Amino acid sequence: MIKSIVEEYQVFSLLKRQKITSLIDIVYIELSRLCVDEDVSDNKKTNNYALKFRALEEIIEAKFQEEKSPQFYASELNVSPKHLNRITKEMVGKTTTDLITERVILEAKRMLIHAQQSFTEIADELGYEDYSYFSRIFKNKTGENPSVFQTRYIK
């Protein structure tokens, strides 16, 4: 499936972006099925958590560039930050902050490989006014600086 996404990205076809989005959605669905425990005894709790978690994912997708605070997302979902962390830990074993940061890092990687912007511009677009702070977060999560990551993929 990943190969199909890469192949589609490399061609210039009509509705390219929509097809890539659909392929990514399919990958997401398959991975979600592997990660979500479908224990029937906790069905109601899991269903409520799954609904909140899916809503969280949608809000993160829409706001990750502007909002990094778990409190913002908890407020949007009408739950406490502590309860939201309980939900995310139950669903995927991560904190809300981890999910937000992972989404930012994913976008940063995409931009580092495909965008023709400076590191400072990328950091700014992702909501970080201070490039050095962004670089520290990137290195903490990936184990390498943005420039080292970029040179591995752009030759």
Q: What is the pLDDT of residues 28-80, one digit of tens each?
A: 888 877 776 555 445 656 688 999 999 999 999 999 999 999 999 999 999 99
Amino acid 18: pLDDT: 85
Residue 114 CA: distances (Å) to CA of 42, 109, 110, 111, 118:
43, 9, 6, 5, 12
What are 122's two structure tokens? 């990328």
Query: Could you tell me the pTM of the whole model?
Result: 0.69
Residue 130 covered by a domain: yes
Residue 133 covered by a domain: yes
CA distance 75 to 21: 28
- DSSP letter, residue 93: S
Domain that holds residue 139: 103-153
What are 25's two structure tokens? 């959605």
Looking up residue 138, the CATH number of its domain turns out to be 1.10.10.60
* Contacts of range 135-140, beta carbons closer than 8 Å, 24 or more positions apart: 137/101, 137/104, 137/105, 138/105, 138/108
